[in-house]
Amino acid sequence: MAAETDPHRPTGKVSVIVIGYNDARHIKHAVLSAVRQGPAVAEVLVVDDASTDDTAAVVADLARRYAPVRVVRRTVNSGGCGTPRNNGLREATAPYVMFLDSDDELAPGAVDALLAAAVRHGAPVVAGACLRRELPEMRDTPWQNALFQRAGVHNSPAELPALVRDTLCVNKLYSRAFLSEHGVTFPEGAFRYEDFVFTARLLAASPRIALIPDIVYLWHVRRSAVQPSISLARSGVDNWLSRLQAHRSAVEVFERAGQKQLAHAARVKFLDHDLRMYVHELGTHDSRHHAEWWRLTREHLASFDESDLRAADAPARWLARVVTGADRPRDLARLIGLGSSPARLLPPYACVNGRAVWAANLPEVVLDSIESEPLSRLPVSIDAELHVWGWPRALQITVHELYGRLAAAVPKTLDIELRRRTDGRVGLSRSSVLKWHQGPDGLTWNGTVLLNGLDSMAGQHAHGLDAWDVWARLHCADGSSVYTCVRATGSGLRRTVIPGRRRGVTLVQPYATAGGSLALRIAPGPGAAAVVVKRRLRRLMSRDVE
């Protein structure tokens, strides 16, 4: 990124539009991240969408203290993010604009890096890398990482249809004149996932686009927030309906513009990303949600054709075919496993006329590519039953056959890794030799992995719980391997305290994730155990009162 002392840096070229509603707690950090971008920023337009908390006072104070900050106060809440962003676009005066949400931040040097690429390549749109940061864990996940591995310039989106996968509006710099000339705006009012439609309108206008690998945006994800963001508020089926409507609107934009290739790419992105993400979470909902979700999804998928399905990854393709092939919810545990990342396909494994199919009573859903995909890319299912409360502490492992592919590869050994969620660090690694077993449900490979040393993984904070995902690496005689998360099975998911040499006792709390994978929370010392016990007692007492 450009250095702070570079005398050739352009000045006053960018308007940063910050939108906020009832976010007095975070909006100051967002605005300051824009102000600190330096002289390239002409103004920081803060659009307050009729907040009822202290947001107005916070941004008014910022406007008094920092010359670039200008406040636009709406008197009626719009119900969405599109209208305040459009307000900001109309008020902006600089040649280029960027968008920033009140609970996120621009990365240091972001504006200089984007602006330099725009000027160098004559591009009205420049996109940079975004980090999706989960708080307070500080776990970073690159957004659409494949697009931002290296710098590149594309004369139109048709040269790289995968651009439709980056539906964010906030990691980009835009020529304000280009947006105005082509009428690129956001949907007004209470329209969720307005980014989908804005991005479609932008790409349909065929701008020259530059991509840079620099991290320009920090997308903060606060799952424990009292009022979660629109993208995280997925408890009701109405959120899924909003996503379907936004996706449908985006595809219609491409089709009206004659951009059939981009419309196709958008449908494939829906299968690979949106469908799998929401299937992954079905286990957290009830049967009424399942029924309505199934109906809505079948209706939406009716507009997809075979070319869309074939272009999607195998797990998403199979998911879509099961939903369209059955008129009511079925096999939800197996679907949730396929929606997980990495995907897993649970037994039973049915064959009809020598072909791998989803089920004997749904033979039209053929699991194509099972025979041809490398073993490392197949949704192999590995079960783990935890025994942590006795001695020895161990995982009982079961590796399931998958239509003859594992039998041909001959599994030999399995490595278990506990990876810390916050940074991916491997805290413990153990191995086991596997033995095959022919049971009533088919061929499996079984082994036992000892978990001595769990107490050494406990963190430094007295009451802090570190979360660890359990991963498995399967080694086969033919040299192939599989790396995947293990599935939690059995009755071992209960909290326990184990003795240790370093801290006396260590609290271990195993649990199943939304997708059914095994994970552990581990905390050191008697203090952590005491805190957990007190919380448990408070919950029991509250139940008695009720």
Domain ranges for the chain = 14-221, 237-372, 376-518
443 is written with which tokens? 């061929």
Q: Helices 260-269 and 237-256 sit at what angle, rounded to 10 degrees?
A: 160
CA dihedral 483, 487, 493, 498 (to 10 degrees): -20
By the 8 A CB rule, do 403 and 370 touch? yes
387 is written with which tokens? 């025994």
Q: What pLDDT, on a 0 to 100 scale, did the predictor assign at position 238?
A: 95
Q: Tokens 């804005």 — which residue?
A: 198
98 is written with which tokens? 């960027």
> Which contiguous run of DSSP H or E holds residue 385?
strand 382-387
Q: Which of 447, 469, 472, 470 is nearest to 397 (CA)?
A: 447
Q: What pLDDT, on a 0 to 100 scale, did the predictor assign at position 122?
A: 97
61 is written with which tokens? 């104070």
Q: Which of 486, 494, 495 is nearest to 516 (CA)?
A: 486
532 is written with which tokens? 């957990």
376 vs 384: CA distance, rounded Å: 19
CA dihedral 346, 350, 354, 357 (to 10 degrees): -70
102 vs 388: CA distance, rounded Å: 44
Q: What is the mean pLDDT of each run of 10 residues along the chain (546 residues)?
A: 52 96 97 98 98 97 97 97 98 98 97 98 98 84 95 97 97 98 97 97 98 97 60 72 98 98 98 96 94 98 96 96 97 95 94 95 95 94 83 84 94 93 86 89 86 66 71 96 94 70 71 89 68 57 46
What secondary structure, in 3-state letters, does 36-68 show? CCCCCEEEEEEEECCCCCCHHHHHHHHHHHCCC
Chain-centroid distance, C-alpha 335: 18
461 vs 464: CA distance, rounded Å: 5
Would strands 209-221 and 152-154 be described as parallel, antiparallel, or unpaired? antiparallel
Q: Which of 16, 175, 198 is nearest to 107 (CA)?
A: 16
449 is written with which tokens? 């992995």
Whole-prediction pTM value?
0.89
Question: 50 in the Ramachandran plot: left (φ > 0), alpha (ψ -120 to 50) or beta?
Answer: left
Q: What pLDDT, on a 0 to 100 scale, did the predictor assign at position 438?
A: 87
142 vs 164: CA distance, rounded Å: 16
Q: Tokens 């007190």 — which residue?
A: 534
Which residues, at least 6 apart from 511, have a Cβ–Cβ distance to it below 8 Å?
A: 488, 493, 519, 520, 521
As assigned by CATH, the class of the 14-221 domain is alpha beta
Q: Which listed CATH number (2.40.160, 2.40.50, 1.10.10, 2.60.40) goes with 376-518?
A: 2.60.40
By the 8 A CB rule, do 260 and 254 touch? yes
Q: What pLDDT, on a 0 to 100 scale, did the predictor assign at position 235?
A: 62
Provide the strand spans (E) within 458-517.
Answer: 466-476, 481-485, 487-489, 496-500, 504-512
By the 8 A CB rule, do 126 and 172 touch? yes
* Euclidean distance between the first and the last CA atom of the chain, given in angstroms as a whole number: 58
Computed from CA positions of residues 475, 478, 481, 486, in that sequence, does the dihedral angle turn out positive or negative?
Answer: negative
CA 196, 200, 202 angle in degrees (round to 5)? 120
Q: Tokens 């029924």 — which residue?
A: 291
509 vs 523: CA distance, rounded Å: 9
Q: What pLDDT, on a 0 to 100 scale, did the predictor assign at position 427?
A: 85
411 vs 484: CA distance, rounded Å: 14
Coil/strand/helix, residue 259: coil
What secondary structure, in 3-state letters, does 347-360 show? CCCEEECCEEEEEC
Phi first, then psi, for residue 507 (nearest 5°) are: -85, 130
Computed from CA positions of residues 509, 515, 518, 520, in that sequence, does the dihedral angle turn out positive or negative?
Answer: negative
> Which contiguous run of DSSP H or E holds residue 397?
strand 394-400
By CB atoms closer than 10 A (0-12, 13-18, 19+), residue 89 is buried
